[in-house]
Amino acid sequence: MRFWDSSAIIPLLVRQHASEQAEAWFGEDPALVLWALTAVEVTSGLWRLAREGALPETVALAADARAEQLVAASRVVVDVDAVASHARRLLRVHALRAADALQLGAALLWSGSGPQGRVLHTLDERLALAARREGFTVP
């Protein structure tokens, strides 16, 4: 079981330069752990791509539906108060955006605050750096 950030989920849903890597990670372990608001971030990313013309709306709609199925089949971290507490600490010590701090906070909560040996998948460099510093393995 591995924690997935939204940046790593989108290439599973639509063809992007990182799709092969995301598919390989998924093939290694298809049991996903997600933050409760990852679905919102994924929807935002898909429809931003559609508005920018990088993705046909029909493809975005189908990918959004697949995202719902993926979330339904995943373990979802839902304790907002505990995640927010972790996120506030993370914002004090790492150069993260709020949404990324919440993702990492959810991963820490899932790991029991013992991330050694746990994998976090992200394509965001700042989040990857912070996750490594917190003790996660980030491929």
In tens, the pLDDT along 36-73 reads 999 999 999 999 999 999 999 999 999 999 999 999 99
pLDDT exceeds 80 at position 114 = yes
pLDDT exceeds 80 at position 113 = no
Amino acid at 29: D
Q: What is the DSSP letter of 79?
A: -
In tens, the pLDDT along 66-78 reads 999 999 999 999 9
| Rounded CA separation 110/107 (Å) | 5
Handedness of CA 92, 96, 98, 100 (dihedral sign): negative
What 56-64 contacts at long range (C-beta under 8 Å, 24+ apart), as own/partner pairs, is: 59/14, 60/14, 63/10, 63/13, 63/14
- pLDDT for position 82: 97
In tens, the pLDDT along 85-101 reads 999 999 999 999 999 99
